[in-house]
Structure 1
Amino acid sequence: MKPATTVPKKRASAAKADEGTATPSERIDARIEALGDWRGQTLTRLRALIRQAASDVVEEWKWRGVPVWSHGGMICTGETYANVVKMTFAKGAALEDPSKLFNASLEGNTRRAIDFHEGDPIDATALKALIRAAVALNTASAAARKTPKRAAAGTKRAPAKRIPGAVPAGRSGKPA
């Protein structure tokens, strides 16, 4: 009888091996390299335009492999599918789109997307304007969240918290 032999498992790719330690930017680089076709080239071009429009943008890696760009909140994602590269703007429904770039996810109340197919031209000027508008919207939303809310006229303030054993202000604590 022949003894059982074990076959060593194939090593995971370098990108997979470093997945726990790689930065989001490195993961996006690895995704682009792994695509190796027009989708990688399109994602590279979109990434460059995002960085040109918002130089201090933050790159993130979410949902098991989706590149995300943020600035005071999510700006957009760069999803890749077999026949399309989809750039989804998180708050796209609130953005003006005079160049009519949005061509997908038009039915929702929040998001809007641009589907890029192989060979589609990219209107760099209009896209950068849209990215800047998304950054401005996030910045305005963040500023609104930081502004303290004032009590409406005619509303009562919450009663002061009573501390056991404390003497209320203006009273000596001695009987009259």
Structure 2
Amino acid sequence: METMDQVKSEAESPSRLIDKRIEELADWRGETLARLRAIIKKADPDIVEEWKWRGVPVWEHDGIICTGETYKAVVKMTFAKGASLPDPAGLFNSSLEGNTRRAIDVHEGEAIDEAALTALVQAAVALNTAKRPKKT
């Protein structure tokens, strides 16, 4: 039998909060965020979902991989270390001026290049895990 703390914890889990955000949007932004989320989770089954900064979905694996912010006209995926990632397909189209982050703005009706996004997520995971201290 679940305790109230377990029920409360499950109801407020980051994954559930992301589910709720997708449901609340109830338009192309929710559908886009759900699609991006599915690609991210498929690209790295060990990814951890977080909910930070008062309502931003965050995907982590040994550090932040990317965030999924929703705005009126765009769903923005910001890669924490995007400037250090190879982007042969040219997915990064926003926040290009910084030295660290890079973002992908997805507008209504735009197709998502699943293969290229999968490669980007996997490269971000590899970068994070390569910087992890080795256990002795």
Q: What letter corresponds to residue 23 of structure 1 in structure 2?
A: S
**Which of 40, 52, 55 pairs up with 2:45?**
55
Residue 110 (structure 1) aligned with residue 100 (structure 2): yes
Give the aligned CA root-mean-square deviation in angstroms.
Answer: 1.7
TM-score, length basis structure 1 = 0.70
TM-score, length basis structure 2 = 0.91
Distance between the aligned counterparts of 1:108 and 1:120, measured in 2? 25
Unaligned runs of 5+ in 2: 1-7
**Which of 73, 82, 100 pairs up with 2:72?**
82
Distance between the aligned counterparts of 1:47 and 1:66, measured in 2? 13
% identity of equivalent residues: 67
Q: What letter corresponds to residue 82 of structure 1 in structure 2?
A: K
Matched positions, count: 129
Structure showing the higher helix proportion among its residues? 2
Residue 134 (structure 1) aligned with residue 121 (structure 2): no
Structure showing the higher strand proportion among its residues? 2
Q: What letter corresponds to residue 136 of structure 1 in structure 2?
A: A
Distance between the aligned counterparts of 2:70 and 2:31, measured in 1? 11
Q: What letter corresponds to residue 44 of structure 1 in structure 2?
A: A
Distance between the aligned counterparts of 2:41 and 2:60, measured in 1? 11
Equivalent residue runs for 1:161-172 within 5 Å? none
Show structure 1 runs of 4+ deviating over 6 A.
Answer: none
Higher relative contact order (CA 8 A, sep 6+): 2
Distance between the aligned counterparts of 2:115 and 2:28, measured in 1? 21
